[in-house]
Structure 1
Amino acid sequence: MDFPDLPPANKRLGQNFLIDPNIVRKIVALAEVTQETQALEIGPGRGILTEALCKAAGQVTAVEIDPRLHAYLAGRQAEFPNLTLVLGDALIYSFAELPVGTVVVANLPYYISTPLLFRLLEHRDRIPRMVLMLQNEVADRLAAKPGTSDYGVLSVMTQYAADITKAFRVSAQCFRPRPEVGSAVVLLRTKERRELNREEEPKFAALVKAAFAHRRKTLVNSLRDEGYDQAQVTEGLVSLNLPPSTRAEVLALDQFMRLTRAIASRY
């Protein structure tokens, strides 16, 4: 079924418009939106989720990069008196200006989902929870456990900042045009308490990235190849009661944090 009176999808921007009202209701319910909620929607598209958010939330800000869709929604502004429309790129949008307590709800374009997620998590002090539609494969990586093939940098870094629930999968039939990959909705509840301090966090991020840079190698060798001192890494693993043959994918989040501190203490 086509919608000739609506702006068509822009393939370059990875647009797949949600058309299923049941999925919309599930997303809004999962986000726990109330009349006290300040909501941020990224990529409102044709507005099916925007409309539901405006009915449920006190205030909604929607950031749309496509001028055609922004103009279309602006033409419906009278329907949504509590909506602030922004024409802009979410990858450079100033999340630092969001009111504390803002809930993010979005059907994210898959090609920018990972960098955008990291940007949002940088501002988690303002965002208590996010409900995101993602490629199913990315959702699996977010929630992956140590020792699995999906476990990697995205898993560790996201789980450091938030508690993750893969809520439900969404059929390709719920979109127009239909995407070629599966989709899923995830709930992220950001963590109020930071386990690492401001000096330790960038060291942790660098270590995790380096640890998974060469997945087939041991952690010692992968970190050595990324510029870490082999003896210091080995000593750090010993302090965690881990053998030198350990690979990155078996370390749990708390072990990566402890290894960061152990190596940093030797510099």
Structure 2
Amino acid sequence: MEKVRAKKHLGQHFLKDLGIAEKIALSVTGHMGVKKVLEIGPGMGVLTDFLLQGDWELFLVDIDKESIAYLHQKYPQLSEHIIDADFLKYDFGKVIEGDYIVAGNFPYNISSQIFFKILEVRNKVPEVVCMLQKEVAQRIASPHGNKEYGILSVLLQAFYDIEYLFTVPPTVFDPPPKVNSGVIRLKRNAVQTLECNEKLFFRVVKQGFSTRRKTLRNALKSMGLSEEMKNDPILDKRAEQLDVPAFISLTNKLELSWKK
């Protein structure tokens, strides 16, 4: 089989270090007893080989036609589980019955979009183990109160417990990226629904970080703050200073102020 060419427009950087691939595969725990794993962007199957050694029912999804052809040749036993599709647009309920874990070396250029898609199906995805740009990985795992903390930190931490596992240097990829990578693990927590209007919560978080250096009073101005709300001390803070419960409280205060 000929090697698959890494395509820049797909953000492909193929992992070539078997030790790191094994370490990522062993980081999948089967949270909540789930035994199905969906690997995003398997490329030539370096991580896939180690996932196959575990007790998982494995599904592969890739948007790259060349990778799909390669994977069908390499893993004929998985032919029914190789999905030629865009992860961001595909309904995996068509082929995967029940819950599934998401794993993979995420393309840098769409890693944030992948997580927004995971948030949409969070009740089907109890665990995520992935490698992505170190800066993004740190941001997702970051606690409130520092500069890395951002929109994805809040939204994902509302529904998942997140661990930063280890850092991966550029030299173990072909072609090597210009930055370090980080591996993180997300495990679904017990929160089924937030104690607030969830659509408004998402909107408040995104708007709060839209001008992250400003206070929330300025950042949320366009949302129509009531006179009472303008004087609330929580608005003296910046978005990065609020943890998930504080954002929930802010969302409830805003909604209540509009009803008065």
TM-score if structure 2 supplies the norm length?
0.91
Contact 2:39 2:61 in 1 (8 A): yes
> What is the aligned-residue identity percentage?
35
Relative to structure 1, the CA distance from residue 104 to residue 93 in structure 2 (aligned partners, 3 Å threshold; closer, same or farther) is: same
User: Is 1:264 aligned with 2:255?
Assistant: yes
- What pairs with 1:244-259 in structure 2 (closer than 5 Å)? 244-259=235-250
Tell me how far apart the structure 2 counterparts of residues 50 and 116 of structure 1 sit (CA, whole Å): 19
Tell me how far apart the structure 2 counterparts of residues 232 and 26 of structure 1 sit (CA, whole Å): 53
Contact 2:167 2:182 in 1 (8 A): yes
Alignment match of 2:118 (pick from 105, 117, 120): 120
Match for 1:44: what amino acid?
P
Tell me how far apart the structure 2 counterparts of residues 48 and 152 of structure 1 sit (CA, whole Å): 32
Match for 2:243: what amino acid?
A
Contact 2:34 2:100 in 1 (8 A): no
Match for 1:119: what amino acid?
K
* Structure 1 counterpart of 2:179: 181
- What pairs with 1:29-48 in structure 2 (closer than 5 Å)? 29-32=26-29, 37-48=35-46
1:206-250 residue CA offsets vs partner (Å, 9 max, x unmatched): 0111111112221111101x2322525335x34xxx4x4322221
Contact 1:200 1:260 in 2 (8 A): yes
SS at match of 2:116: helix
Tell me how far apart the structure 2 counterparts of residues 181 and 41 of structure 1 sit (CA, whole Å): 23
Q: Which runs of 5+ in 1 are unaligned?
A: none
Contact 1:136 1:183 in 2 (8 A): yes
- What pairs with 1:1-267 in structure 2 (closer than 5 Å)? 5-32=2-29, 37-78=35-76, 80-81=77-78, 84-97=81-94, 98-196=96-194, 200-224=197-221, 226-234=222-230, 237-238=232-233, 242=234, 244-267=235-258
Match for 1:66: what amino acid?
D
Q: Which runs of 5+ in 2 are unaligned?
A: none
Q: Which moved more, 1:255-264 or 1:210-219?
A: 210-219
Tell me how far apart the structure 2 counterparts of residues 164 and 74 of structure 1 sit (CA, whole Å): 33
* Matched positions, count: 256
Aligned alpha-carbon RMSD (Å): 2.2
Tell me how far apart the structure 2 counterparts of residues 233 and 171 of structure 1 sit (CA, whole Å): 47
Contact 1:59 1:83 in 2 (8 A): no
Tell me how far apart the structure 1 counterparts of residues 57 and 35 of structure 2 sit (CA, whole Å): 7
Relative to structure 1, the CA distance from residue 81 to residue 247 in structure 2 (aligned partners, 3 Å threshold; closer, same or farther) is: closer
Tell me how far apart the structure 2 counterparts of residues 28 and 49 of structure 1 sit (CA, whole Å): 7
Tell me how far apart the structure 2 counterparts of residues 99 and 232 of structure 1 sit (CA, whole Å): 49
Relative to structure 1, the CA distance from residue 36 to residue 117 in structure 2 (aligned partners, 3 Å threshold; closer, same or farther) is: closer
TM-score if structure 1 supplies the norm length?
0.89
